[in-house]
Chain A
Amino acid sequence: MTQLQEPVQQDAVPAPETTAGRGRRYWFLKAFATAGPLPFLLLLLVVGVTLVNPVFLSSSNLSSVATQSVYLLLVSLAQMLILVTGGFDLSVGANVALTSVTSALVMQSVYGGVDEYSGIALIWGLVVALLVGLVVGLVNGIGVAVLKVNAFIVTLASMGIFTGVTMLVSGGSEVSGLPRVFTHEVGSGRVFGVVPVPLLMILPVIFLLYVLLRRMKYGKSLFAIGSNELAARVAGTRVGTNLVMAYVLGGVVTAYAGWLLTARVSSGQPQLGAELAMQSITAAIIGGASLLGGRGSVGGTVLGVLFIVGLTNGMNLMRMDSNQQNIALGLALVLSVLVSRARDRARREVAVMELDQGATPPAAGPVGSLPEQRNPLAPPS
C-alpha cells in the first residue's frame, strides 16, 4: 500500500507548477478535478501501445476493440447506475447467462429453422430477454429497497438463484439453432464494413442513460440517494420507489447486453458473463464511480471501459500472458481508487481557490469560468 501511495501524492501536488504562479496550478487542479486522470491515461495507453505495436491503431483492431467494449460497456453502465445509488450489483453475470439461455430457447423455438420467422424470433427473443432483466432487477430492487437488505447480500443471493435457474432451464448445455440474422448481423455485422452493428445498437442506450442521469429529476434523485439518503428523503424524494426503478433499469440494460452477447457467441450459453460482475465494477470505479455512492457518470464509465478493454487489447498485442494481465488490471483498480482520493483533494483545493477568486470585486480579475457577479439587489421595500 505504502509503495502505491507515492505516485498519487505526486499527482495531487504538482511541484513544477509553483513557479508559474497560482493561475497555472489552478487550471491544472481544475482539469484534474473535473475530468479526472482517464483522458490522459487513455492517451498514454494509445501512444505507448502504438509505439510497441503499430497494429493497435489499425482500423480492424480498433473495430474489434469497439466490438469487445460494447458488452462490457452496457453492463458497466448498469453497474454505474447502481453504484450511484450507493449499492452494487453482483448478479449482472447471472443476469446475462439467464437472458442468454432463455432468449435463445425462445428464438430457437419460434425460428425453428424457417428463415421467414427470423425477424419475429429476434423480436420475441429480445422481449423475453428484457423481461428476464426486469424480473432480476425487481428481485434485487425489492431486496435492497423494500426488505432493506445490504446490496452485497441481495445481489450475491440473486446471483446464486439466477445461476441455478439458468442451469435448470438449459440443463447445463448450449442452446443453438438461432436465426442467421441474429448471429451474423446482430452479432458480428458491420455497417460500411467498419462500424460494428452491436456498437450502433447500444448508442441509443448510452444516450438515454446520459440524459437520464444529467437532465432528469429521476437521475438527480439517484445521486442524492447515494450521496445522502436522508437529504434526499427530506427533499421529498421517494427513495424506495426510485431505488427499485434503478435496479430494474440496471437489470434491463444488463439483459440487453446478454441478448447482444448471445448473438455474438451465436448460441445461448449458461456460462456466459461469469467475469462481468468484477469487470463492470472495475470499469465503473476506474470511470469515477464510488463504492460509497453519489458519484458516477456515463462519460467516465465509457472511458473506464475503453481503458480496460484497450489495456487488455494492448497487452495482448504486446504478448503479455493472462497472468500478467490480471496483475496489471488489479493494479489499475487499486491505483484508480488512490487517484480518486487525490481527486477529492484537488476538488477541495479548487473550491477554496474559487472562493477567494469570487471574493475579489468582479472587475478586479479574470474570473473566467466563474459565473459573473450581478449587481446587488435593490434595497428591499
Chain B
Amino acid sequence: MTATVPTVSLQEISKRFGPTLALDAVSLDLLPGEVHVLLGENGAGKSTLVKTLLGTYHPDSGQILIRGREVAHHNPGVARDEGINVVLQDFSLAPTLSVLDNLFLGRQPLRRRLIDTAAMREAAERTRELVGGTFSLNAEVGALPRSEQQLVEIMKAVMGKPGALILDEPTAALSEKEAERLFGIVDRLVHQGWAILYITHRMAEIRRLGTRVTVMRDGRRTGTHLVSAVTDDELVREMIGRDITAVYPHKADPRHLGPTVLRLTDVSSANGKVRDVSLHVRSGEIVGIAGLVGAGKGDVARVLSGLEHTTSGEVEVLEYRTSRPQIRKMLAAGVGFMPEDRKRESLALQLTTADNINLEASSSKAHGRFGFLHRGQLREAAISMIRRLDVRPADPQQEVGLLSGGNQQKVVLGRALTRPRKVFVVAEPTAGVDVGSRQQIYEELRRLCDDGVGVLVVSSDLEEIVGLSDRVYVMHSGAVCAELVGDEISDEAVIAAAFGHGADEPTARVQEAV
C-alpha cells in the first residue's frame, strides 16, 4: 500500500459567498489510516470545507486531488464513486424503507435485471458486523432508535471500497456507551485504510481518536498538528484567537443590579436532560448558560417555555410561582422568549414581517377590541420596530421566509419586544446570523438590561457566552457544574467546566455524577 498518497487532498481552496470569504486558501490532506480532526467554531468554514470535499460546492480556486490525481470537475457523483462519504447529524435515510433497502438505495446489485437480494444481504451482513450492529436488516429504519440509525448511515457510507469518511460531530446525540461503540468502529475503519475526517468540539475525543488535527478560524486554516504534539490550550487559543470585544456591548455594573426576576429551584425535566438545576437572573444582567451539545442547556429554555415538562422543582418569575411552567402564564408573568429553532418554533414563514412582529401583540388586548384588530396601530408598531432593529429590507409586507437568517432573528426579537417584559429567555440568538446582525441583537439585549430586564441566554457559541454574559452557568450532563462571574468568565474557564473538569483532562466525560 502506498501509504503516503493522501486519499483526498485539498490544495489552496478558496470559496466566496457574496461578500464573505468562506474558505481562504485552505489546504488539507486526508491520509489513509488516519483520523484527522477538524476543529473550529461555528462559522469557521468547516461545513463549507466538507461540502467542497463532497463536491456539493465548487471552489472558486484551488485544486482537489483524489488518490494523487487531480479532479477537474469534482461533483457528488465523483465523490460517491471514489468512496468519499459523509455522516451528518441529520441522516439522509428513507425512514419507511428497510435497513437493506436503504443501504443499497440506487445501487442495488442486479441479476438477470432483477434486484439480487441475496447478494445485498450478504454484503450488508458483512458491513453490519464491521460496525457491530445488532438490528435486523429487514427492520424499517424509521423504527430504529437514533443511535442505530446512525450506524445504518455509517454502514451506507462504508459499503464500498475504502475512501474518505467524514463524521460530523457523531457523538453529539450519543450516550457514553454508544459513543464508545462508535470509537471502536472508527478504529476498525482506520485499520481498513479509511481516511476519517472527524469534526468535534470535544477535546477528549481528539485525544482518544485523533492522529492529526487541523484548526480553522474565519475561513482560514490556522494550523495542522500531530495530536500528540499539541496541548488543548494551544488548540483552543488557535480556534478562538481574535479580538472579540468589538462585537459585544459593555457589561453590566454589578453594583447596579436589581432584584431577582427569575429563579429556578431544583428543577428537573421529564426527559431527564435537566437535573436539579437551580439558577437565578437579576434585573439588569445577562446570564449565560453554556455547555456542550446534549448538556441540557437548551432544555432549560424549553422547560421555561413549557415545551418540556418538569418533574420536580419550582420556577419563580417575579410574583408568579409554579412547579409546572405553561407558556401562556409565563408570557402573562412578563417573560419573553426567543426559541432555539426560529423557523419551526417562532416564525410563520409565509406571513409578512409586520404580521410576524405583531403575532403576539394581536393576541393581546392592546391593539383591538372585541376580537377586532386596530390595523393602523399594528402597522405603525411594526414599522417602528423594523426601524428600531434595522430589519432589512425595511418592508413590513416582505414575506419573512425570504429574509436572511439575521433579519429573521431580528423579527423574532422584535415580536418579543412588542410587549413590556421583565425577563427574556433567549436560546441560540445568533445561530446562522451574520456578524452585523449579531452586533445589533447583542446591543438590543444590553439595552433591555439597562432598562431593568433580566436576560437568560442559552448558547452553544462560546465566544458569545464569554463576550455577552455578566454571569455564566456552565452545565454538564444536565446539571449546573459551575458558576462564573465577571472576570472569571473566560474561554478556558467555560471550556474547562463544560468538559466537567479541566480542559487538559482527557477523561473529563467520566465525571458524570456532579
Instruction: Enumerate chain A interface residues (CB-CB to B < 8 A).
Output: 211, 215-217, 220-221, 223-224, 226-228, 230-232, 234-237, 290, 293-295, 344, 347-348, 350-352, 354-359, 369-371, 373-374, 376-377, 379-380
Smallest beta-carbon distance A323→chain B, Å: 36
Say yes or no: B96 contacts A231, CB within 8 Å: no
Residue of B nearest to A229 (CB): B94
**What are 15 A-B residue pairs whose CB atoms fall within 8 Å in the complex?**
A211-B114, A217-B106, A217-B108, A220-B97, A224-B105, A231-B102, A234-B92, A351-B140, A351-B143, A354-B134, A357-B134, A358-B135, A370-B136, A371-B137, A380-B191
- Given A216-B115, A231-B92, A380-B192, answer yes or no on A224-B134 (Cβ-Cβ < 8 Å): no
Assess whether B369 is interfacial by the CB under 8 Å rule: no
- Given A220-B105, A374-B129, A376-B129, answer yes or no on A354-B92 (Cβ-Cβ < 8 Å): no
- Given A216-B114, A231-B93, answer yes or no on A371-B105 (Cβ-Cβ < 8 Å): no
CA distance A230 to B80 in the complex (A): 15
Assess whether B34 is interfacial by the CB under 8 Å rule: no
Say yes or no: A355 contacts B148, CB within 8 Å: yes
Q: B55-103: which have CB < 8 Å to A?
A: 76-77, 80, 92-97, 101-102
Task: List A contacts of B256 (CB < 8 A).
Answer: none
Task: List A contacts of B139 (CB < 8 A).
Answer: 347, 350-351, 354
Q: In the complex, which of the residues B97, B135, B188, B193 contacts A351, with contact meaning CB atoms closer than 8 Å?
A: B135
Say yes or no: A224 contacts B143, CB within 8 Å: no
- Given A220-B115, A350-B139, A354-B136, answer yes or no on A377-B105 (Cβ-Cβ < 8 Å): no
Assess whether B121 is interfacial by the CB under 8 Å rule: yes
Residue of B nearest to A211 (CB): B114
Q: In the complex, which of the residues A223, A226, A293, A357 contacts B101, with contact meaning CB atoms closer than 8 Å?
A: A223
Task: List A contacts of B77 (CB < 8 A).
Answer: 236
Say yes or no: B94 contacts A377, CB within 8 Å: no
Q: Which 9 A-B pairs have the closest CB atoms?
A: A358-B134, A235-B106, A294-B96, A227-B94, A235-B105, A351-B143, A347-B143, A351-B139, A228-B94
Q: In the complex, which of the residues A232, A290, A351, A374 contacts B136, with contact meaning CB atoms closer than 8 Å?
A: A351
Residue of B nearest to A237 (CB): B106
CA distance A351 to B148 in the complex (A): 10
CA distance A237 to B80 in the complex (A): 13
Residue of A nearest to B139 (CB): A351
CA distance A348 to B121 in the complex (A): 21
Say yes or no: B106 contacts A232, CB within 8 Å: yes
Smallest beta-carbon distance B127→chain A, Å: 10
CA distance A355 to B134 in the complex (A): 5
Task: List B contacts of A215 (CB < 8 A).
Answer: 114-115, 117
Task: List B contacts of A374 (CB < 8 A).
Answer: 125-126, 129
Instruction: Enumerate chain B interface residues (CB-CB to A < 8 A).
Output: 76-77, 80, 92-97, 101-102, 105-108, 110, 113-115, 117, 121, 125-126, 129-130, 133-137, 139-140, 142-145, 148, 188, 191-193
CA distance A234 to B113 in the complex (A): 23
Task: List A contacts of B80 (CB < 8 A).
Answer: 236
Smallest beta-carbon distance A150→chain B, Å: 15
Task: List A contacts of B135 (CB < 8 A).
Answer: 351, 354-355, 358
Residue of A nearest to B148 (CB): A355
CA distance A236 to B78 in the complex (A): 11
Say yes or no: A221 contacts B106, CB within 8 Å: yes
Among B97, B121, B148, B191: residue with most chain A CB under 10 A: B97
Smallest beta-carbon distance A210→chain B, Å: 12
Smallest beta-carbon distance A298→chain B, Å: 15
Q: In the complex, which of the residues B114, B129, B142, B143 contacts A373, with contact meaning CB atoms closer than 8 Å?
A: B129
Task: List B contacts of A236 (CB < 8 A).
Answer: 77, 80, 106-107
Residue of B nearest to A352 (CB): B145
Among B117, B142, B191: residue with most chain A CB under 10 A: B142
Task: List B contacts of A351 (CB < 8 A).
Answer: 135-136, 139-140, 143-144, 148
Say yes or no: B136 contacts A294, CB within 8 Å: no
Smallest beta-carbon distance A248→chain B, Å: 20
- Given A294-B96, A344-B143, answer yes or no on A224-B106 (Cβ-Cβ < 8 Å): yes
Task: List A contacts of B140 (CB < 8 A).
Answer: 347, 351
Q: In the complex, which of the residues B95, B106, B144, B191 contacts A228, with contact meaning CB atoms closer than 8 Å?
A: B95
CA distance A232 to B107 in the complex (A): 11
Residue of B nearest to A230 (CB): B92
Residue of A nearest to B114 (CB): A215
CA distance A380 to B107 in the complex (A): 26
Q: In the complex, which of the residues A295, A352, A357 contacts B96, with contact meaning CB atoms closer than 8 Å?
A: A295
Q: In the complex, which of the residues B76, B95, B130 contacts A377, with contact meaning CB atoms closer than 8 Å?
A: B130
Task: List A contacts of B106 (CB < 8 A).
Answer: 217, 221, 224, 232, 235-237
CA distance A376 to B143 in the complex (A): 27
Task: List B contacts of A348 (CB < 8 A).
Answer: 143-144
Task: List A contacts of B76 (CB < 8 A).
Answer: 234
Residue of A nearest to B101 (CB): A220
CA distance A228 to B142 in the complex (A): 11
Say yes or no: A224 contacts B94, CB within 8 Å: yes
Task: List B contacts of A224 (CB < 8 A).
Answer: 94, 97, 101, 105-106
Knowing that A231-B102, A350-B143, A371-B125 are A-B contacts, what are 18 other residue pairs whose CB atoms are under 8 Å apart, sorted by A's residue number?
A215-B115, A216-B113, A228-B94, A232-B94, A232-B105, A235-B105, A235-B106, A236-B77, A237-B105, A347-B142, A348-B143, A352-B145, A358-B135, A358-B136, A370-B136, A374-B126, A380-B192, A380-B193
Residue of B nearest to A376 (CB): B129
Task: List A contacts of B129 (CB < 8 A).
Answer: 373-374, 376-377
CA distance A94 to B140 in the complex (A): 36
Residue of A nearest to B81 (CB): A236
CA distance A227 to B106 in the complex (A): 14
Say yes or no: B107 contacts A235, CB within 8 Å: yes
Smallest beta-carbon distance B143→chain A, Å: 4
Task: List B contacts of A370 (CB < 8 A).
Answer: 136
Smallest beta-carbon distance A48→chain B, Å: 32
Q: In the complex, which of the residues A220, A232, A376, A379 contacts B108, with contact meaning CB atoms closer than 8 Å?
A: A220
Say yes or no: B94 contacts A294, CB within 8 Å: yes
Task: List B contacts of A352 (CB < 8 A).
Answer: 144-145
CA distance A39 to B466 in the complex (A): 63
Task: List B contacts of A226 (CB < 8 A).
Answer: 96
CA distance A230 to B93 in the complex (A): 9
Smallest beta-carbon distance A237→chain B, Å: 5
Q: In the complex, which of the residues B94, B113, B134 contacts A359, with contact meaning CB atoms closer than 8 Å?
A: B134
Residue of A nearest to B147 (CB): A355
Task: List A contacts of B125 (CB < 8 A).
Answer: 371, 374
Task: List B contacts of A235 (CB < 8 A).
Answer: 105-107
Say yes or no: B92 contacts A223, CB within 8 Å: no
Residue of A nearest to B98 (CB): A223
CA distance A85 to B284 in the complex (A): 55
Say yes or no: B94 contacts A223, CB within 8 Å: yes
Residue of B nearest to A219 (CB): B115
CA distance A72 to B389 in the complex (A): 60
Task: List A contacts of B148 (CB < 8 A).
Answer: 351, 355
Say yes or no: B134 contacts A294, CB within 8 Å: no
Task: List A contacts of B136 (CB < 8 A).
Answer: 351, 354, 358, 369-371
Smallest beta-carbon distance B108→chain A, Å: 5
Among A220, A344, A357: residue with most chain B CB under 10 A: A220
Task: List B contacts of A230 (CB < 8 A).
Answer: 92
Smallest beta-carbon distance B172→chain A, Å: 20
Smallest beta-carbon distance B91→chain A, Å: 8
Smallest beta-carbon distance A140→chain B, Å: 23
